[in-house]
C-alpha cells in the first residue's frame, strides 16, 4: 500500500517568540519600494510574514482623502505592524517617530528602532541608537533594534532591554548578503533575545544562510520589492527561511577535507 505524503502545515512547536508573542513565520517584511499598494498586498501575502514594517511620514495634505491607504491593504487586524524610524539621524527624531507611531496605532508599542549615521552606507549611528533606546525603554516601548554586526554592541542592546536585536547582513538595500557570518554566529550564540538579520539580503540563499547560522528570523524589503517578480521572490524567501530554520534545527554534518562514502563497503561482489 502506498502512502501519499501531504504537504504539512509548519509545526507550531517552533514558534518565534518576540516580547511574549508567538509568531509562526520567521520572515519579516517591509512595505517600501513596491510599484503600488496591490503589489504590496500580494507580495506581503505571498511572503507569509506576520510582522510587517511601515514608515511614518507626513500625510500629503493636498491628496484626495479617498485615496487608498497602506493600512487598507496591510490591515493591523491581520498583521503585526512594526513601525520603523527609518530616515531618522538623531535619537530625538527617532523617539518622536516612535511616539507618533504608538498614537497612530492605538497604543501598539512594538517598534523597529533604526537611527542612521550616513546617507551613503545607511549604517546605524550606534551612539544615537543607544540614546534613543534608553528613552524608549523608559517610555515602555518594545524595541527591535537595528544595529551593526558587532557582538559587543548587540549584547549591550539586549542588556538595555531591547526585545530583539537585528544586526545587518550588509548595507540596507545592497543585496550583498551576509558579509560577516562569524560575527552573526557570535551574536546568536551570546544572545538570550531573538536575533534577526535585518538588511542586506539579496536572494533566497542569503536568507537560508542567516537561518542556518541560528538566527531567529530575517527582516527584508528590497530583496523582495526590487526583484523582477516580487511575488515569486516573496514565495522563494518564505521557503528559504523555512528550509534554513529546519536545517539549523536538524544539525548540519561537520565539514571534512576528504570524502566519506555513502554506500557500505561490506557486501561488494567485485
* Residue number, 105 or 153, with CB nearest to another protein: 105
> In terms of residues, how long is the chain?
270
Record the cell numbers describing residue 135, joined without a space: 528613552
- Which span sits near another protein by CB under 8 A: 48-56, 149-157, 189-197, 251-259? 48-56
Can residue 99 be called a binding residue for another protein (CB under 8 A)? yes
**Binding status of residue 71 toward another protein by CB under 8 A:** yes
Decide: is 218 part of the binding site for another protein (CB under 8 A). no
List the strands of the sheet with 164-167, edge to edge.
Answer: 110-113, 142-147, 164-167
- Can you tell me whether residue 116 is helix, strand or coil? strand
CB 102 within 8 A of CB 73: no
Among 49, 50, 83, 230, contact with another protein (rule: CB under 8 A): 83
**Please, what is the minimum distance in Å from the beta carbon of residue 124 to another protein?**
14
Does residue 19 interact with another protein by CB under 8 A? Answer: no
- The single residue among 23, 25, 26, 31 that binds another protein, judged by CB under 8 A, is 31
131 is catalytic: no
DSSP type of residue 19: T
Strand partners, 218: 27, 197
**What are the grid coordinates assigned to 188, written together?**
546568536
221 near another protein, rule: CB under 8 A: yes
CA distances from 150 to 5, 191, 257, 259 (A): 44, 12, 30, 36
Choose the catalytic residue: 112, 131, 142, 155.
Answer: 112
**Distance separating alpha carbons of residues 235 and 119, to the nearest angstrom:** 31
Q: Residue 53 interacts with another protein (CB under 8 A)? A: yes
Cβ-Cβ contacts under 8 Å for 15 (sequence gap 6 or more): 22, 23, 24
Handedness of CA 85, 88, 92, 96 (dihedral sign): negative
* Candidates 28-36, 134-142, 235-243, 254-262; binding stretch for another protein (CB under 8 A): 28-36
Point out which span in 64-72, 149-157, 202-210, 261-269 binds another protein (CB under 8 A). 64-72
Near another protein by CB under 8 A: residue from 16, 49, 51, 56: 56
Query: Residues 60, 6: contact at Cβ < 8 Å?
Result: no
Q: Determine contact, residues 199/171, Cβ cutoff 8 Å.
A: yes
What is the nearest approach in angstroms of another protein to the Cβ of residue 116? Answer: 12
Q: How many CA atoms lie within 13 A of 207 on its CB side?
A: 28
Cβ pair 16, 26 in contact under 8 A: yes
Residue 167 near another protein by CB under 8 A: no
Q: Which of 7, 9, 59, 192 binds another protein (CB under 8 A)?
A: 59
Q: Which is nearer to another protein, 53 or 148 (CB)?
A: 53
State which of residues 10, 15, 19, 33 lies at the interface with another protein (CB under 8 A).
Answer: 33
Report, in Å, the least distance between residue 236 CB and another protein.
18
Residue positions annotated with a catalytic role:
112
Binding site for another protein (CB under 8 A): 30-34, 40, 53-59, 61, 65, 69-71, 81, 83-84, 86, 96, 99-101, 103-105, 172-173, 199, 219-222
Amino acid at each position: 500500500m502506498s502512502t501519499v505524503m501531504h504537504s504539512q502545515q509548519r509545526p507550531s512547536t517552533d514558534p518565534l517568540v518576540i516580547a511574549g508573542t508567538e509568531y509562526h513565520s520567521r520572515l519579516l517584511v517591509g512595505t517600501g519600494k513596491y510599484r503600488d499598494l496591490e503589489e504590496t498586498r500580494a507580495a506581503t501575502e505571498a511572503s507569509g510574514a506576520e510582522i510587517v514594517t511601515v514608515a511614518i511620514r507626513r500625510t500629503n495634505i493636498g491628496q484626495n482623502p479617498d485615496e487608498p491607504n497602506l493600512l487598507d491593504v496591510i490591515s493591523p487586524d491581520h498583521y503585526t505592524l512594526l513601525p520603523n524610524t527609518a530616515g531618522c539621524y538623531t535619537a530625538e527624531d527617532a523617539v518622536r517617530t516612535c511616539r507618533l507611531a504608538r498614537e497612530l496605532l492605538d497604543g501598539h508599542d512594538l517598534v523597529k528602532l533604526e537611527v542612521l549615521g550616513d546617507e551613503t552606507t545607511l549604517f546605524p549611528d550606534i551612539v544615537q541608537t543607544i540614546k534613543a533606546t534608553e528613552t524608549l525603554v523608559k517610555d515602555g516601548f518594545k524595541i527591535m533594534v537595528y544595529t551593526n554586526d558587532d557582538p559587543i554592541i548587540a549584547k549591550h542592546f539586549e542588556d538595555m532591554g531591547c526585545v530583539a536585536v537585528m544586526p545587518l547582513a550588509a548595507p540596507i538595500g545592497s543585496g550583498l548578503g551576509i558579509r560577516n557570518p562569524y560575527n552573526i554566529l557570535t551574536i546568536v550564540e551570546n544572545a538570550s533575545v531573538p536575533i534577526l538579520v535585518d538588511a542586506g539580503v539579496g536572494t533566497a540563499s542569503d536568507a537560508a544562510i542567516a537561518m542556518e547560522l541560528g538566527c531567529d528570523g530575517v527582516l527584508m524589503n528590497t530583496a523582495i520589492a526590487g526583484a523582477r517578480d516580487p511575488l515569486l521572490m516573496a514565495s522563494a524567501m518564505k521557503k528559504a527561511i523555512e528550509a534554513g530554520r529546519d536545517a539549523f534545527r536538524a544539525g548540519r554534518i561537520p565539514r571534512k577535507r576528504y570524502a566519506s562514502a555513502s554506500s557500505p563497503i561490506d557486501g561488494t561482489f567485485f
